[in-house]
Amino acid sequence: MAAISSDVIRGYNDTMILYLLLEDPSYGYEISKRIRTLSEEKYIIKETTLYSAFTRMEKNGYIESYFETAENGKRRTYYRITDAGRNYYREKCEEWNLTKDVVERFISENNLVPSKGE
Amino acid sequence: MEVIKNYLESMFANLPNTPEILRAKQELFSMMEDKYTELISEGKTDNEAVGTVIAEFGNLDELSETLGIKNMMQAPVPSDRRNISHDEAFDFIRENEKHTFMVGLSVFLFITCCVGPIIGGLDVFGGSKASDMIGIVYLFTSIATGVGILIYSGSMMKKWDYIKDFPCFIDYATADAVYTADCDDRSTRALRLTIGIILCILCFVPAAVFGALSDNNFLTEGMGPVFLFVMLGIGVMLIIISGSRHDGCQKLLALNDRATVSGNYQGMGTPAPKFSDPTVDVVMSVYWPTITCLYLIWSFISFDWHITWIIWPIAGIIHGVVKRIYGTENR
């Protein structure tokens, strides 16, 4: 069964996180859970990947963090998207459309392309 | 949940002790905790939940760039530090306690050795040579036993010298257990110390009471001093053994390198030094007990209670000045 290549998906972790933050601010575990459900369990983001994306994007000014205490009394770091983050998200979407457009031209559904010299 | 905490702590143990890294650890723990709680509420067993959380944790290498710890990641886990296992740690604490008890016992013997000649020289025994001799024999036997105990116990502790001599470390689970053991001991320690100090302060009371109420030579010359030395002996012994567990625990908790995350386990025990100069720090740690002793000695010798209180404001001012010059808090 095919699995997602972490090299390929790496460039789009930011896009996924920013997409989830477009509507409402959120926190680490909720974001990872929504990525899992939205991808129908096809992609499970690692905690370390998620955290490094947060710190990187915060440094770049795409998101801001703040503390909030949850109903059960647990203090969590929430993240909200900034205007720079929205712009960056739009750029990433355009970039993906272009990438997808290019790569798809080379994807063959039926194995018609003969393999050379096996 | 303990397993997850231990796993995370051991992953971070050798990383530098910086705010960024501590924050990363805290955030990662928070996420893992949320995930674990949810898995449990979905009906997973503890093992399954822990397994999933750890499997989906990822790799710390991913954080190296964002945290600026690239070099640390490539450096292998320092192998020159010797790990102290859980059992070893508790053996050490137990034997250290035993050793401290032995020291306390021998000090008790040293203090009370003169009880022999005091009783032996009493008139009730007719001041005979035989009773004098038994008293003297008791004195030397006490001293010899005390010295013997000290030498024996000291050499038994030799095998733990490596804890002082070699760089060692303890892992998070052990540090946590040691810290708990230390906390559990807190009330016992306080009780022993309090009773010990009270006995030391009150030791002269029987002698004073006997002296005031009775002309009986047996009480004034015999029992009074005997009570004094025995109470003093028990008091000093209690003070010595009060810190027996605490010392061992603190020694273990202080093993980890303060520059790394693992150094924070120590933070569970001892606060950072209050004074920048280590000598000053040591001197100041016994400052108030010393002042108390000076106050009591001066007061009891001179009986000038109306004037001796002056020692407290003076001591307070000196303390303030030293804190101002060497203190680490207000920097």
Residues 6+ apart with CB under 8 A from B143: B109, B110, B113
Q: Domain ranges in chain A?
A: 11-104
Does the structure show a pLDDT above 60 at A59? yes
Contact flag A55-B66 (C-beta cutoff 8 Å): yes
End-to-end Cα, chain A, rounded Å: 23
Amino acid at B319: H
Instruction: Note the pLDDT of residue B222.
Output: 79
User: What fold is seen in the domain A11-104?
Assistant: Arc Repressor Mutant, subunit A (1.10.10)
Residue A77 near chain B (CB below 8 Å): yes
* pLDDT of residue B70 exceeding 90: no
Residue B252 predicted with pLDDT over 90: no
Query: Chain A residue with minimal CA distance to B61?
Result: A48
Token reading at A70: 């949850």
Contacts (Cβ under 8 Å, ≥6 apart) of A44: A32, A35, A36, B56
Q: What is the DSSP string of B44-81?
A: --HHHHHHHHHHTS--THHHHHHHT-HHHHHSPPPTTS
Q: Which residues in B lie closer than 8 A to residue A76 (C-beta atoms)? A: 30
Residue B290 has pLDDT above 60, yes or no: yes
Of B24, B35, B65, the CB nearest to A51: B24
* CB proximity B2 to A under 8 Å: no
For chain A, say whether B38 makes contact (Cβ under 8 Å).
yes
Residue A118, pLDDT score? 43
Retrieve residue A82's tokens: 């900034």
- The residue ranges of every structural domain in chain B are 2-74, 82-269, 272-331
**Rounded distance, CA B315 to CA B311, Å?**
6
Between strands A26-27 and A75-81, the pairing is: antiparallel
Closest by CA to B16, choosing from B72, B58, B61, is: B72
ipTM: 0.83
3-state secondary structure of A27: strand
Has residue A18 got a pLDDT over 90? yes
Contact check, Cβ <8 Å, B30/A55: no
Measured between beta carbons, the chain B residues lying within 8 angstroms of A52 are 62-63, 65-66
Residue scoring higher pLDDT (A86 or B171): A86
**Once rounded to an integer, what is the mean pLDDT over residues B168-173?**
82
The reported pLDDT for the residue numbered B105 is 93
For the cut 50, the answer to whether the pLDDT of residue B245 exceeds it is yes
B31 and A46 within 8 Å at the Cβ level: the answer is no
Mind listing the pLDDT tens digit for each residue in B146-166? 999 999 998 988 888 888 788
